[in-house]
Structure 1
Amino acid sequence: MEVTNKPKVLVTAPFDPAVAELLAADFEVKIINPTMSGDSLADRLLEAELSTANVIVAELDVVDEATLALAPHLQVVISCRAKPVNVDLAACSARGIPVVTTPGRNAEVTADLSFALLLATVRQVSASERWLRAGNWSAEDVFEPYERFRSIGLGGRTLGILGGGAVGRRMMRRALGFGMNVKVYDPFLASDTFGVDAEVVPLEEVMATSDIITVHVPLMPQTEGLIGTEELALMKPEAFLINAGRAAIIDESALMEVLRNKRIAGAGFDVYYQEPLPANSELFTLENVTLTPHIAGASDDVIAEHSRITAKALKAWRLGEPMEAIANKTALAPAPA
């Protein structure tokens, strides 16, 4: 058996082979086929690999106390997520192990899907396809779909973006390409953050003046239920609502009331309060709603991006340089003298 002094990296996340090959010059990389179970990494029969691992790179596998107990030489955990929901942060902090995340790994493809959902909702793409597949287009009224599925164009309309982060900024660029005006709600941004490209305005103004509103606010205690009855009531009757971010940003009962009564023109969703969406969900009965099954991040490009971010973090760690996006940085900081 070849003896190496290279740090041992155990990868159980989907990973770009080309990036793994580049890392092999400085690391001993062991790639394990990923699973979708989301169970403890300690249950994957990897005791031998964990016993020598200096780094764990995981996406769905849970790095918990049981995992850490099997990995006495562990020095870094990299969670291929924007938030390390698969890692016991407290347990890692107690052992002095930094937990690195991969923020923005799916920002581009999420913006792609969000804008596709926007277009499909506004232009009734899904509804018209269902109608066509059902055999409704007849020679007796060849122009019926032209009347039935009339909608608005995007040029000159206002897109309201809730959240001016990685995805929100990409949505802004896409909207500008369609000739839209853009307003952004983000309490952490200055009013002139985007210059002439977009206005940063209060939430009430976004809700009341936008033709289409798209949700990209991170979910945290302060933003759960951010959009409730009062905010939805501000929307124009002809406006559309798109959510490919987090369902809980919008109050469920208030949202369903608006959709049920057709208080707005339509909505498109890629995220739900319960997933999978139950077969008896009322959303399936609403003709003014477009639905996709939480696929915003479903792209091989996401794997390539989180592999690239991982490699950057590993190289920094190897060189003794600061790593970016450490989730437990505060917990690991030395106590003030």
Structure 2
Amino acid sequence: MPSATILVTVPTLAPAGLDILRAEGCHVIFTSRDGGVQEMLQHLARGPIDGVISRTLPFGVEAFAAAGSRLKVVSRHGVGFDNVDVATATAKGIPVLIAPAANGQSVAELALALMLAVARRLPARDAAIRAGEWDRSGSGLQLSGRTLGLVGYGGIGKAVARMALGFGMRVVVFDPVAKPEPDSAVEMVDSLERLLPRSNFLSLHVPLTVQTQGMIGKRELEALPRNAVLVNTARGGLVDETALLAALASGHLYGAGLDTFASEPLMPNDPLCTRSDVVLSAHMGGSTDAALDATARMAAQHVLAVLNGRPIDRAVCVNPEVLKETCS
């Protein structure tokens, strides 16, 4: 096709992806750090934009309307797609593609890092030393010998499981669509109700959908063993944060490690920020050099595949019905 114009909804794209686009003659436009949704809409309205690589900004009805009829594809820079209005995209015949597994290892490593940081109270220990306190009292949790419950067993969940087994943990999984793996040390259960009471550590690895919204609430947190740890590197909306705060305040939970939140960015006055038993990071599970390169490369390849009519793996199409002739 003639030279395409691609809008990237963040200020930068890793060279691994940008080079692919430019090698095929694409004109690439970026949304500035301070421009936000309004600048993105202005770019779309000025157009014409052939494809969008979507990362953090919400891409909703207004964005699709501003883009007009030229827009052919929205490619997610990541695996989640809750910030894209898939229903509108489908109505307009526009495929929404995700980049599964591209950042999976990095997200999995952060999940383990959060488990360790919470279990050993590392941020509080670090802060105490910097404040001139040398306090060796108190104790933490050892991961080895404890059970990790995983909700979701895709690429990220499997990577977390491998590392947890290496730490000497038992791993139990609930994922209604995952298939049992022969000779695996991972145990699979058929319900969240069976998973939770066994999970000394609970780590979430599912997308945010109507079905998963608020899936970890008061009842689920109470079902966890006392002194359990919750880790969420998936989407903030999976967890009822009010219920989480109550479970922490009551002492039922030992702590939580959170990379995602119901509302982002998290404000400094949020109650989660006041708790020393909560370790926070700014939705950066996929923010490593390797992950950013791999995700940018995959997102760029997906855009070009649609624009050039090349086959696409059906598994990366959120709404594959719009691409019946080109999805493989």
Q: Partners in 2 of 1:90 and 1:19 — Cα distance?
A: 27
> Does 1:290 find its partner at 2:298?
no
CA distance in 2, matches of 1:92, 1:238: 44
Computing the radius of gyration from Cα coordinates, the structure with the larger value is 1
- Following superposition, the deviation at residue 28 of structure 1 comes to 1.4
SS at match of 2:193: helix
Q: Deviation per CA, 1:169-206, whole angstroms, max 9, x where unpaired?
A: 1111111221211111112224x336422011132332
Structure 2 Cα separation of the partners of residues 45 and 321 of structure 1: 26
Maintained 8 Å contact 1:161/1:213: yes
Structure 1 residue matching 2:242: 3-state secondary structure: helix
Residue 214 (structure 2) pairs with residue 215 (structure 1) = no
1:10 maps to which residue? 6
Matched, 1:232 2:221: yes
Structure 1 distance, partners of 2:40, 2:126, is 43
Cross-structure match for 1:330: 321
Q: Percent identity?
A: 31
The answer for the alignment partner of 2:188 in structure 1 is 200
Root-mean-square deviation (CA, aligned residues, Å) is: 2.9
- Whether the 8 Å contact between 2:54 and 2:76 is mirrored in structure 1 is yes
1:57 aligns with one of 53, 58, 61: 53
Instruction: Please show how residues 128-207 of structure 1 align to structure 2 within 5 Å.
Output: 128-137=125-134, 144-145=135-136, 147-148=137-138, 150-190=139-179, 192-193=180-181, 195-201=183-189, 202-207=191-196
Q: 1:241 to 1:44 in 2, by over 3 A?
A: same
Secondary structure in structure 2 of the residue aligned to 1:182: strand
CA contact (8 A) 2:196 2:223 kept: yes
Residue type matched to 1:112 in 2?
E
Q: 1:91 to 1:249 in 2, by over 3 A?
A: closer
Aligned partner of 1:263 in structure 2 is 252
CA contact (8 A) 2:108 2:156 kept: yes
Work out the CA distance in 1 between the residues paired with 2:246 and 2:67. Answer: 47
Which runs of no fewer than 5 residues in structure 1 stay unpaired? 138-143
CA distance in 2, matches of 1:252, 1:314: 36
The alignment of Structure 1 onto Structure 2 pairs a total of residues equal to 315
SS for the counterpart of 1:290 is: strand
For residue 174 of structure 1, give the secondary structure of its aligned residue in structure 2. Answer: helix
Native 8 Å contact 1:160 1:211 kept in 2: yes
> Contact conserved, 1:157 with 1:181, CA < 8 A, in 2?
yes
- Structure 1 residues 40 and 200, CA, compared in 2 at 3 Å: closer, same or farther? farther
Contact kept in structure 2, 1:57 and 1:77, CA below 8 Å: yes
Change (3 A) 1:116 1:40: same
